[in-house]
Amino acid sequence: MKDGKSLELLLIRHATSIANIKGKLAGRVEPNPLSPEGVKQAEQLSGLIDEFKPTKSISSPLTRCQQTLKYAGVKGFETSEEIIEMDYGRWSDKSLKRLALLPGWKRVQRDPLGFRFPGGESFEECRSRLTSFRAGFRDWQGERIVLCSHGDIIRILINDLLGRDFAHFQQLHIFPASFSRVQIEFPKGKEEGVARFLYLNRIAAPAPVATAKGYQVGGD
């Protein structure tokens, strides 16, 4: 740790996976590798990551995130259970269009903190582990770190870094293979850092912009 130095994070959502192509909420179900399109997207991240010059890289343990970093040419990255995809329980590996018809879907959108996925994780539990993960940021002062994770995880993390009400995280849209860069300063006397976003939800190559659907959870 280099006290007084800022931490820079490059937040990458994994590239397009097979479940993305099929319109499924993958969750933690394996195997779920990258699609051929996803492999190309990941390869296009290589130059961006090289330019960022990371001192450390951390991935969700799930295949689609690890493959994204491998195809982007990142070597020697760590994995962290704290940034793994949400556990969607019995909703995992189900069609997003069908899930959107369930009575519980409106609660996911309107009251995420009060919702637990059937047989799975609650948003409150997910946010708690991300808060625990963020607690380690102070120890990373002076580092430049690549984090490769999932749509909901990155949205929640960005939303909290911006100091927004948790219910508003659904307003953020994070594309597959997109990247966001944040600089975090640590003023004296303050436990939490102050985040400044340099850019949000960029893509490495020109591509059609996906419409923000009514169902934006996890594997959309």
More confident residue, 28 or 171: 28
For residue 61, count CB atoms less than 10 angstroms from its CB and return exposed for 0-12, middle for 13-18, buried for 19 or more.
middle
**pTM for the whole structure:** 0.92
203: confidence class by pLDDT, cuts 50, 70, 90 = very high
Backbone torsion region of residue 118, taken as left when φ is above 0, otherwise alpha when ψ lies between -120 and 50, otherwise beta = beta
Ordered domains of the chain (ranges, CATH)? 7-202 (3.40.50.1240)
Confidence category of residue 213, pLDDT binned at 50, 70, 90:
low
Distance CA 102, CA 88 (A): 14
Determine the average pLDDT of the residues in 59-74.
Answer: 98
Query: What rounded mean pLDDT belongs to the chain?
Result: 92
> Where does the pLDDT of residue 204 fall: very low under 50, low under 70, confident under 90, or very high at 90 and above?
confident
